Amino acid sequence: MQGSDFTPYNNQEENAFWRTAVANIKLGQEEFSQLHQIDLATNAPRISSIGSCFAQHVGKWLNAGGYQFNQSKLETNQTSSFAFGNLYTPRCLLQWFDMSDDLKPFDINSAIYSDNHKYYDLLRPNFNPKGFDSHADLVTARLAASNEMRETLLETDLLVFTLGLTEAWKDNGDVYYPSCPGVVSGIFDDSIYTFHNFSYEEIRSDLEEIATRLQSINPDIQIILTVSPVPLTATMTNKHILVANQHSKSLLRTVAGFLSDNHTVFSYFPSYEIITVAGAEDFRFEQNLRTVTPQAVNYVMQHFRSVIDKTASPTSLLEASVKHLPPKMNPSSSNEVVCEDELLEAAKKQQSSQAQQHKCDISLFGDSHMGKLSSAFNNINAQHCGGMVMHGSGFSQKKFAMCDAEYFVPLESAISRKLWSDVLHNLNIHQHDKTTANSTIITNLGMQTHQNISRLTTWLNQTYSEGVSEISTKDFIDYFNNDLTDQLSIILKLRDNGHQVIVVSDPPFCQYFEESKSIKNLIYSYFYAMEYVWSQFGITFFNAATTFDQEISDPKNYLSNIKFDDGSHDWIHGNDKYYAWLTEKLITLVKAPSSD
């Protein structure tokens, strides 16, 4: 008989107790021990990833780490093993199996939207956003994606499936959509589309059916389920978004737990728990409390490394992962509010103005800086078109699709797409009239240092596992090639089509605030490296930060006076006086029009 002080918990290990297993862990600096029980059959697995937007982070990290990640050959605009884009529910994945299943046929001609002689695939609204030239081309592309899926699964040892949502939309034919028609593509019609919130039984049944399909293709495949920590953007239930989000995530987590406990083909990896466990001075979400930071992704994947690399040392990995992280900057959330105001103001200006009847020689596009620059241009009656098109995070996090005909297609919102369409229309007029010699584009694409400096540090952590004492220009260029290829390609294509392009740096105001001054040298080095890159291509780069420092003797009179609820400052933007100064400088760089 045990002593009176004995309880069954006496024999439990430290990882069974919150204090020793969680509270004593320094989040972001130490790994949780014994966090999973995954044991792969293959030492160097070939990995495929599918699911919600968080699944893209998995692929990017695996690529950067040199692991065997299967990248779709049909999907070139994002890191993805399959040409489906984001699939937030298991039912959407099942439909792709059904396309080539004679026993459960799927209507290959369904979920297609046509407009102005173009055909859009509502099953993957972000794939080929410019549309297909014919209905047949779209169907052929769908079948190609389904066939590629099967070929990829044959070459997959480990499939990581990130579960995102329980809320979905379906049509009268019981076709389920990855997003509500009308949000990204198509037109919403309540006589056709209805809301559906998947139950526990439906999700479990769908995942079990997916496992059956997968094993019929590749009997040796292993499946790791994860739950996306990214909250719902909005809910169609009558519940508060906080309650609806927790309901959705709890269902997904419960299903994943049941399947991993009761089916040998399934395992569960706790990325959701790593991101959502409470912590002081939290680094894992941007201040909008929804966007997962690059540091958080890196922290999750350091844990995941123990799944696929049994030789990795947790201590050395974590030391490397935090070595280059800058002090916690004022995250982009409060500034995102400022930028949101700028975006809404841009939309308001667009709605209140008459349709543009003539071409402008100056076009602006970029983030909120370009919106403020547009206002400064208006103040001196400088004719131009454009301004803010997307938030800085939209450009930094690649919330756009590359498009040969339109350079790129903003995916952040319908407002962004309309704002860019007006700029594109102006550029196309110049090309039609063969007056691109008179066309000047001013942009800050590729800057977004309030986002990109954090992404740079994550890239450095992954590239130099032992740390690096000094960051060279080559390091910056390698980072640009790794993370900013699409952004830089847009600028080069604009130049190649005959337009003069002026790239302008972000302001220099990080140095004047306590929360941001420590990253001044890194930001300025970023500007110098970008200036070097553009000089090699003959593109004008205006380093506003260094020019301002050299010319202005009273810099604090140019600071933004916005202060956020948490006491931090808007060090990203300047005030109206700054953008008036910047306008004066940029106008002198715009070439004089030649005769038509």
Residue 542 has pLDDT above 90, yes or no: yes
Please report which helix (H) or strand (E) contains residue 283, including its range. none
3-state secondary structure 437-457: HHCEEEECCCCCHHHHHHHHH
Domain ranges of the chain: 8-323, 332-587
Residues 212-266: tens digit of each pLDDT: 999 999 999 999 999 998 888 889 999 999 899 999 999 999 999 999 999 999 9
**Among 91-95, 98-102, 377-381, 482-486, which is the least confidently predicted range?**
98-102
Task: Tell me what pLDDT residue 37 has.
Answer: 82
Query: Residue 331's pLDDT band (boundaries 50, 70, 90)?
Result: very low
> CA–CA separation, 248 vs 241, rounded Å?
10
Query: Residue 330's pLDDT band (boundaries 50, 70, 90)?
Result: very low
Residue 595 has pLDDT above 60, yes or no: no
Half-sphere exposure of 217 (CA within 13 A, CB side): 23
Answer yes or no: are the C-beta atoms of 114 and 135 closer than 8 Å.
Answer: yes
> CA–CA separation, 556 vs 91, rounded Å?
56
Task: Tell me what pLDDT residue 351 has.
Answer: 53
Q: How far is CA 312 from CA 27, 44, 226, in A?
A: 19, 13, 21
Residue 354 has pLDDT above 50, yes or no: no
Answer yes or no: are the C-beta atoms of 582 and 376 closer than 8 Å.
Answer: yes
pLDDT > 90: percent of the chain: 55
For residue 23, the 8-state DSSP code is I
- Residues 6 or more apart whose Cβ sits within 8 Å of residue 333: 286, 287, 288, 289, 291
> CA–CA separation, 265 vs 223, rounded Å?
6
Rounded mean pLDDT, 488-509: 95
225 pairs with which residues across the strands?
161, 268
Residues 117-168: tens digit of each pLDDT: 999 999 998 888 889 999 999 999 999 999 999 999 999 999 999 999 999 9
Ramachandran region of residue 548, left (φ > 0), alpha (ψ -120 to 50) or beta?
Answer: alpha
Residues 38-50: tens digit of each pLDDT: 888 888 899 999 9
- More confident of the two residues 523 and 413: 523
Q: How far is CA 265 from CA 211, 218, 250, 286, in A?
A: 7, 12, 22, 35
> CA–CA separation, 415 vs 428, rounded Å?
20
Residue 501 has pLDDT above 70, yes or no: yes
Residues 410-456: tens digit of each pLDDT: 888 878 888 999 999 999 999 989 999 999 999 999 999 999 998 99
3-state secondary structure 222-275: EEEEEECCCCCCCCCCCCCHHHHHHHHHHHHHHHHHHHHHHCCCEEECCHHHHH
The sign one gets for the Cα dihedral 275, 334, 366, 114 is positive
Four-point Cα dihedral 296, 298, 303, 304, nearest 10: 120
Query: Residue 305's pLDDT band (boundaries 50, 70, 90)?
Result: confident
Task: Tell me what pLDDT residue 325 has.
Answer: 41
Residue 317 has pLDDT above 60, yes or no: no
Task: Tell me what pLDDT residue 146 has.
Answer: 94
**CATH top-level class of 332-587:** alpha beta
Relative to beta strand 400-403, strand 407-410 is antiparallel
C-beta atoms surrounding 76 within 10 Å: 11
For residue 22, the 8-state DSSP code is I
Residues 453-484: tens digit of each pLDDT: 989 988 888 888 777 778 888 899 999 999 99
pLDDT, averaged across the chain: 85
pLDDT > 70: percent of the chain: 87
Half-sphere exposure of 437 (CA within 13 A, CB side): 7
Query: Residue 101's pLDDT band (boundaries 50, 70, 90)?
Result: confident
- More confident of the two residues 46 and 280: 46
Looking at residue 396, its amino acid is S
Task: Tell me what pLDDT residue 565 has.
Answer: 67
C-beta atoms surrounding 474 within 10 Å: 9
> CA–CA separation, 25 vs 13, rounded Å?
16
Residues 183-224: tens digit of each pLDDT: 878 899 999 999 999 999 999 999 999 999 999 999 999 999
Task: Tell me what pLDDT residue 282 has.
Answer: 60
Q: 195-202 contacts: CB < 8 A, separation 24 or more? A: 195/167, 195/168, 195/169, 195/236, 196/167, 196/168, 196/169, 196/170, 197/166, 197/167, 197/168, 197/236, 197/237, 198/89, 198/91, 198/166, 198/167, 198/168, 198/251, 199/251, 200/251, 200/254, 200/255, 202/91
Residue 387, burial from CB neighbour count under 10 angstroms (0-12, 13-18, 19+): buried
Answer yes or no: are the C-beta atoms of 47 and 308 closer than 8 Å.
Answer: yes
Task: Tell me what pLDDT residue 326 has.
Answer: 43
Task: Tell me what pLDDT residue 341 has.
Answer: 58
